[in-house]
Amino acid sequence: MAHGDAPRWLAGLLLAAAIASATARTQEPVRIGFVTFLSGPAAGPLGVPARYAAEAIVESLNAGKGPAPHNARGFGGAPVELVVIDEAGGTTKQMSEFRSLVERQNVDYVVGYISSGDCLAIAPVAEEMKKITVLFDCGTPRIFEQAGYKYVFRTRPHATMDAVAAALYLLETRPGVKSYAGINQNYAGIDQNYAGIDQNYAGIDQNYVGGQDSWNDFTMAMGVLKPEARITTSQMPEFGAGQYGAEISALMQSGADVIHSSLWGGDLEAFIMQAGPRGLFKKSPLLLVAGEPYLHRLGSAVPDGTIVGARGTNGVFAPDGPLNAWLREIYRAKAGHDPTYPAYSAANAILGLKAAYEKAKVAKLQRSIPMGANRGVKEETERAYAEGPSDVELIAAFEGLIFDSPSGRMSMSLGKGHQAVSGTAYGTTRLVDGKVTVTDIKHYPLEKVQPPEGVASADWIKGGMKPAK
Amino acid sequence: MNQIAAILIDGIIYSSWLFVIAVGLTLIYGVMKILNVAHGSLYALGAYAATAFGGYWIAQGHPPLGSYGMLVVAAVAVGLTAGPLIERGLLRLVYGKEEVVLVLVTYAVFLILEDLTKLAFGVDPLSIPQPYGLLGSIEVGDLIYPTYSLVVVLLSVVVGIGLAMTLNRTRHGKILQAVIHDREMAAATGINVSRVYLVTFTIGTALAALGGALTAPTISVQPGIAAEVIVLAFAVVVIGGLGSLGGAALGAVIVGMVRAWAVHKWPEVELFSVYAVMAAVLVMRPKGLFAVPEARKI
Amino acid sequence: MPRDRTTRILLGALLVLLGAGPFLPKWAMFMLNVSLSWGTVVLGMMLLMRTGLVSFGQGLYYCLGAYAAGVSYAKLGIGDIAVMLLASTAVTVAVSAVLGLLLAKYRDIFFAMLSLAFSMILFGLLVKTSELGSTDGFGLSVASVAGVPLAEGWDRYAVFASAVVVAFGAALGMQRYLDSHTGRLAGAIRDNELRVEYMGASVRRVIHLNYVISAVLAGLGGGLVGITIGHVDPEMAFWTTSGEFVFIAILSGTGNVLAPFLGATIFETVRSFAYEYSPNTWQLVLGITMLLVIVFLPGGLWSVFTRRRTP
């Protein structure tokens, strides 16, 4: 044998072995902590659909069954592990749980949080602990308007979009509106006393942040679009009150043309069940900003002519496409019914994180393969290929990212690249052939319903909601 | 004018609902000197049972009017099972301890029942709306009320009168009163106090469950309704005086009216109007409005 | 347990914790921190229980203390741990001094109910106050302790050390107090109030004093928890929070000032792990444990240590 043959032959074998072992080497799994409501009133309509969607997507991705370009296994080849924990128990408890997720369970990324209160509290903690956190469902506009974050992202547009679009849709479909009322759960939010708008509203909103914020954004938008519309009464019953007899009487007496409500969960169901037989909705149709998940639960109990939103182009408003079809198929297999907006939020978050992860990984690979290849570089490449991107690299990829999701195209354009924007849609429910269907659907592009970068939502609305460029 | 009518009617409807829930609590306290924190859990059990029984009845295609009967059956079933189980199985072991320790025991039962209910019925909200709308509605001025609410009001009046007559006119009732006033003497005269306890607790449980069963058609039954109701029931009972039937009625009316007024006139204070009233009454009459006098032992 | 042995254990534990603090894994330090803060609250409850009163409304002062610390940060720009805790103390002393005048007249169930009512009133007030974040509450952070600015990365340890110092200081103080003349009246009042009056002591004044002391301890615990977690919310005043304090008090027993801390640590540990692995049955576990303790160990866990060995 010639002197040079053995080494070359050996080198080839070693190389083949190295490549084989590289691909056979189990890639370090990507551990994602997923936080959503698993117990309590928010679990059924919101938390559990989110969990099903997250699990369905992760299982499908790990099996390599996603539609192109998601047909590689997991995240860029690395399997994904979901660590699901319960968001119930209050904000203070969630902050402890977050620390526990990061320090005890050693997750790589955190995806979660439906409650606006939890999002607002967790964001600074995530920043302090330098853990990339993707907020997937909470709506408060304040997260990136009141502070800047490097490690926190949100893959859904915030609730100003819902409120403004609601006002636009209402006025387009019912231009004769002269008065409106609200019933919203009484929970935290912006100052309810802002100058310039008559406080004669009717609303029934659960008295808590989301409820108050929702009501405030809506009334501000109405104040700008139709200042002469009068608010007749604003009911803010306690969260979980359950008995709305008196509130319903007050709403009926107020005689509003439409009732705005951000009630959700068992409270919404109770309210509808109690108000329906009393004929409240024949006099004053209901406007449910986030009502989409209840359509299948309440079925024909949903009052005819209810204006309903899905917090974005989700559910019935989602555009046709391979990603939407995929989500609907795997979700239906898991849950037995069609996915609602929390499922879309969860799916979008995971797919967005995946898109950023893979973009960062590709960038990393491209940096480590110089022109022309030789032995040492192959090992270098394999090593780079096996690891995931670092946090800094992922953040750089995520900022300003535009990715496709079951809800359509998402663009991380606000909050210095950390806050997603998209358009939205609203519709009206009607009983068609005995089935509750959403008709009269109108879409609203993102410039009409969201403030531009650097402008706070409240200011943008009060300033006349000039479309962002 | 219309608003006053609305406040009054809403107040009465809410009060009668409160009364059915609170009367069992005050009865149990009066006889056994136990403030049953688990009362709310029994209310929740009644609501869940009503949803299950009523739902089954309707699903089987039976006439929907019968579902009302199912509600009552559900309440009685819960009373007859949970009542003796808790009383004989648990409370029996801790009689004789201080009052406050007994409260803690019932608090523990509340915690246990919370999770048992979740395990048995799941965490999703359940509903059984049919009985609510079946009877149609009544118009009062420009307001519409479902006839179902009227039925609840009538039922609570029936329960109240029934209990009052049982306590005052029947032999069993008088025995109960004897035990309420002085347990030792009652036992000394040959009354089977232990059986009186069992019967009382069972009736109290059934009443709590009845409250839940009647409420089930109007809400989405979900975990957490127990905790909401407990504090309300406490407020009513404490305002009226622990152990007093008339007190429970008066307390229910006061709380109901105050809340209805708050919702219509001053929605901001609706949340803590109940607790404020409770604190105010306790300050003026430390033992409640119709408290049962107790001899002080030196 | 003889008094000096308790004192020695207290001082020893204090030194061990302070020394080991920087080496503990972060989550362990966090859990210990919360346990010590809760232990302080329960220490106050222990005093009340020794006086024969069970409060179902300690959440009122716990929440007030937490919000006092929070408001100092959010509205007054203060980031000093010591100043925040002073604020907690000031607020709780003021409120409890006034409420105590009323509550000292009540006993048994009515004391429990009235204290519950007041804590729920605070809850309602806070939920209604959007400036304080309503149901979400708001966050706070610390930058110095007693005027000494905290170096980067040492803030968690500083909070932990503060909790250790406060907790053990309170325990030592309580021990001295319980040995004093006024302290011993607590047990006497629990046994028979009337006789105490006949002997010339003022029951009302002792109850009032004990009430204020327990309120301050609850406020300090609340302030510490708020600083540790970095967040306060109205849930702290909800009656179920007070219920948890009662549970720990029963679990620990009133035998010794160390008992509340032991009970709080066990509670916090079991609760965290139970919640993680089974969010839908941890209350079941809690309830059963409570029943077992009440039935079989009426003196609380501490009575395990004091059971005399039969010769």
- Residue A117, min C-alpha distance to chain C (Å): 5
**Nearest Cα residue in chain B from C109:** B100
HSE-CB for C240 with a 13 A CA cutoff: 16
- Give the residue ranges of chain A where pLDDT is below 50: 1-5, 11-12, 15-25, 188-203, 206-207
Is residue B291, in this structure, part of any structural domain at all?
A: no
C-alpha distances in Å from residue B293, one per residue of B25, B184, C227: 18, 16, 47
Note whether B118 contacts A247, CB cutoff 8 Å: no
Q: What angle do CA B263, B265, B268 make, to 5 degrees?
A: 60
Name the region of C87 (left: φ>0; alpha: ψ -120 to 50; beta: rest): alpha
* pLDDT of amino acid A4: 45
Note whether A91 contacts C26, CB cutoff 8 Å: no
C-alpha distances in Å from residue A311, one per residue of A144, A346, A441: 18, 13, 14
Rounded mean pLDDT of chain A? 79
Residues in CB range of B67: below 8 A, 6 or more apart: B54, B57, B58, B128, B130, B131, B134
On chain B, the residues whose CB falls within 8 A of the CB of C283 are 111-112, 114-115
Residues in CB range of B60: below 8 A, 6 or more apart: none
Query: DSSP states of B10-66 as a string?
Result: HHHHHHHHHHHHHHHHHHHHHHH----TTHHHHHHHHHHHHHHHHHHHHHTT--TTH
Number of domains into which chain B is organized: 1
Note whether A92 contacts C233, CB cutoff 8 Å: yes
**Nearest Cα residue in chain A from B14:** A245
A152-154/A435-444 β-pairing:
unpaired
Helix (H, G, I), strand (E, B) or coil at C35: helix
Q: The CATH number of the domain where B50 resides is what?
A: 1.10.3470
Q: Choose the closest CB to C121 out of B111, B114, B275.
A: B275
Cα separation, B270 vs A244, in Å, equals 12
Residue C260 tokens read as 């509340």
**Which element (helix H / strand E) includes B284?**
helix B270-284
**Within an 8 Å CB–CB cutoff, is residue A253 touching chain B?**
yes
**Helical H segments across chain C, by residue range:** 3-20, 26-50, 59-74, 81-103, 108-128, 155-179, 181-191, 193-198, 203-229, 239-252, 259-277, 282-296, 303-306
- Residue B61, min C-alpha distance to chain C (Å): 34
Per-residue pLDDT of chain B (298 residues; tens, 9 = 90+): 677 888 888 889 889 988 998 999 999 988 888 889 899 999 999 999 998 888 888 888 777 777 788 888 888 999 899 999 998 888 888 887 777 778 888 988 998 998 898 888 887 778 777 777 777 778 877 777 888 888 889 999 999 999 989 888 898 888 888 887 788 888 899 888 888 899 999 999 999 999 999 888 888 788 878 887 888 888 898 888 888 888 899 999 998 898 888 878 777 677 678 888 888 888 888 777 887 666 665 5
Closest CA to A80 of A107, A47, A118: A107
Note whether A44 contacts B124, CB cutoff 8 Å: yes
On chain B, the residues whose CB falls within 8 A of the CB of C128 are 268-269, 271-272
- Residue B249, min C-alpha distance to chain C (Å): 19
Cβ pair C57, C118 in contact under 8 A: yes
Name residue, tokens 């902590």: A33
- From start to end of B136-276, where are the E strands? 137-140, 143-146
Cα separation, C62 vs C44, in Å, equals 11
Q: Choose the closest CB to C54 out of B100, B231, B235.
A: B100
Name residue, tokens 């990212």: A401
Closest CA to C87 of C129, C142, C138, C30: C142
Does the bond joining A69 to the residue before it have cis omega, within 30 degrees of 0?
Answer: yes
Is residue B32, in this structure, part of any structural domain at all?
A: yes
pTM for the whole structure: 0.81
* pLDDT of amino acid B296: 61
For residue range A96-139, list pLDDT tens digits in order: 889 888 888 889 999 999 888 788 888 988 988 899 999 999 88
Closest CA to A184 of A216, A161, A215, A162: A215
Cα separation, A44 vs B221, in Å, equals 12
**Nearest Cα residue in chain C from B105:** C291
Cα separation, A391 vs C220, in Å, equals 39
Note whether B143 contacts A238, CB cutoff 8 Å: no
Note whether C287 contacts B112, CB cutoff 8 Å: yes
Instruction: Count how many pairs of residues, chain B against chain C, have C-beta atoms within 8 Å.
Output: 108
Instruction: Count how many pairs of residues, chain A against chain C, have C-beta atoms within 8 Å.
Output: 93
**Which element (helix H / strand E) includes A392?**
helix A391-398
Chain A residues 402-421 with a CB less than 8 Å from chain B: none
Is residue B99, in this structure, part of any structural domain at all?
A: yes
**Within an 8 Å CB–CB cutoff, is residue C287 touching chain B?**
yes
On chain C, the residues whose CB falls within 8 A of the CB of B298 are 194
Note whether B219 contacts A276, CB cutoff 8 Å: no
On chain A, the residues whose CB falls within 8 A of the CB of C133 are 117, 188, 209
Cα separation, A245 vs B152, in Å, equals 13
Amino acid letter, C91: V
Is residue B258, in this structure, part of any structural domain at all?
A: yes
**Within an 8 Å CB–CB cutoff, is residue C137 touching chain A?**
yes
**Nearest Cα residue in chain A from B13:** A245
Is residue B289, in this structure, part of any structural domain at all?
A: no
**Helical H segments across C75-153, by residue range:** 81-103, 108-128
Residue B200 tokens read as 């009382």
Note whether B123 contacts A39, CB cutoff 8 Å: yes
Cα separation, A330 vs A313, in Å, equals 19
Cα separation, C62 vs C47, in Å, equals 16
Note whether B144 contacts A252, CB cutoff 8 Å: yes
Cα separation, A404 vs A69, in Å, equals 10
Q: Which residues pair with residue B262 across a beta bridge?
A: none
Per-residue pLDDT of chain C (311 residues; tens, 9 = 90+): 566 788 888 888 888 888 888 888 877 888 889 999 999 999 999 999 999 898 999 999 999 999 999 999 888 888 888 999 999 999 999 999 999 998 988 887 888 888 988 998 898 888 878 778 777 778 788 888 877 787 777 778 888 989 999 999 999 999 999 989 889 999 899 888 889 989 888 899 999 999 999 999 999 999 999 998 888 888 899 888 998 898 899 888 888 888 999 899 988 887 877 776 776 787 888 888 888 888 887 777 777 666 654 44
Q: Choose the closest CB to C279 out of A38, A104, A188.
A: A38
Residues in CB range of A23: below 8 A, 6 or more apart: none
On chain B, the residues whose CB falls within 8 A of the CB of A41 are 125, 222-224
Q: Exposure of C23 by Cβ count < 10 A (0-12 exposed, 13-18 middle, 19+ buried)? A: exposed
Secondary structure of chain A: what % helix, strand, coil (to 5)?
A: 45, 20, 35
- Residue B285, min C-alpha distance to chain C (Å): 11
Q: Mind listing the domains of chain A with CATH numbers?
A: 22-158+319-422 (3.40.50.2300)
Residues in CB range of C104: below 8 A, 6 or more apart: C204, C207, C208, C211
* pLDDT of amino acid B39: 93
Phi, psi for C234 (deg, rounded to 5): -65, -20
On chain A, the residues whose CB falls within 8 A of the CB of B11 are 246
- Residue A39, min C-alpha distance to chain B (Å): 6
Note whether B218 contacts A270, CB cutoff 8 Å: yes
DSSP classification of residue B81: H
Query: DSSP states of A306-357 as a string?
Result: -EEE-SSS-GGGSPPSHHHHHHHHHHHHHHSS---HHHHHHHHHHHHHHHHH
Note whether A41 contacts B142, CB cutoff 8 Å: no
On chain A, the residues whose CB falls within 8 A of the CB of C232 are 92
Residue A114 tokens read as 């439906």
Cα separation, C172 vs C119, in Å, equals 28
State the sign of the Cα–Cα–Cα–Cα dihedral C73, C79, C84, C87.
negative
**Which element (helix H / strand E) includes A12?**
helix A5-24
- Residue B140, min C-alpha distance to chain C (Å): 33
Cβ pair B252, B34 in contact under 8 A: no
On chain C, the residues whose CB falls within 8 A of the CB of B283 are 102
Cα separation, B209 vs A297, in Å, equals 26
Cα separation, C163 vs C142, in Å, equals 14
Range of the domain at B132: 2-284
**Within an 8 Å CB–CB cutoff, is residue C166 touching chain B?**
no
Cβ pair B185, B178 in contact under 8 A: yes
- Residue C134, min C-alpha distance to chain A (Å): 4
Is residue B150, in this structure, part of any structural domain at all?
A: yes
Q: Choose the closest CB to C290 out of B108, B271, B275.
A: B108
CB atoms within 10 A of CB B176: 22
**Chain A contact partners (≥3 CB pairs within 8 A):** B, C
For chain C, the straight-line distance linking the first and the last C-alpha, in angstroms and rounded, comes to 18
Closest CA to A180 of A277, A278, A269, A261: A261
HSE-CB for A271 with a 13 A CA cutoff: 34
Note whether B282 contacts C123, CB cutoff 8 Å: no
Amino acid letter, C96: S
Closest CA to A367 of A393, A401, A392, A398: A393
A152-154/C148-149 β-pairing:
unpaired
